[in-house]
Amino acid sequence: MQGVARPVILLFAKAPVAGKVKTRLSPPLGEEQAVRVHKALVAGMWTRLGELREADRELHTDGETDAWPDAVPRKLQSGGDLGARIFAALDEALAKGRPKAMIVGSDTAGLPPRLLRDLLESRSDVALGPAYDGGYYAICCRKVKAAMFDEVRWSTGHTLTDTVRGALRCGLTVHVGEPWFDIDTADDLKRLPPELQREIGWERQ
Q: In what order do the strands lie in the sheet with 74-76?
A: 74-76, 56-61, 8-13, 101-104, 136-141, 126-130, 174-176
Question: What total number of domains does the chain contain?
Answer: 1
More confident position, 60 or 28: 60
- For 169-202, the pLDDT digits (tens) are 999 999 999 999 999 888 888 887 787 777 666 6
Could you tell me if residue 94 is inside a domain? yes
Could you tell me if residue 3 is inside a domain? no
pLDDT tier at 93, thresholds 50, 70, 90: very high
- What angle in degrees, to the nearest 10, is found between the helix axes of 31-49 and 113-121? 50
Could you tell me if residue 117 is inside a domain? yes
Could you tell me if residue 205 is inside a domain? no
pLDDT tier at 205, thresholds 50, 70, 90: very low
- For 26-41, the pLDDT digits (tens) are 888 899 989 999 999 9
More confident position, 199 or 83: 83
Residue 61 has pLDDT above 70, yes or no: yes
What is the reported pLDDT for 26? 85
The range of the structural domain enclosing residue 62 comes to: 8-200
Residue 3 has pLDDT above 80, yes or no: no
Could you tell me if residue 69 is inside a domain? yes
Could you tell me if residue 1 is inside a domain? no
Q: Is 40 helix (H, G, I), strand (E, B) or coil?
A: helix
State the CATH number of the domain containing residue 191. Answer: 3.90.550.10
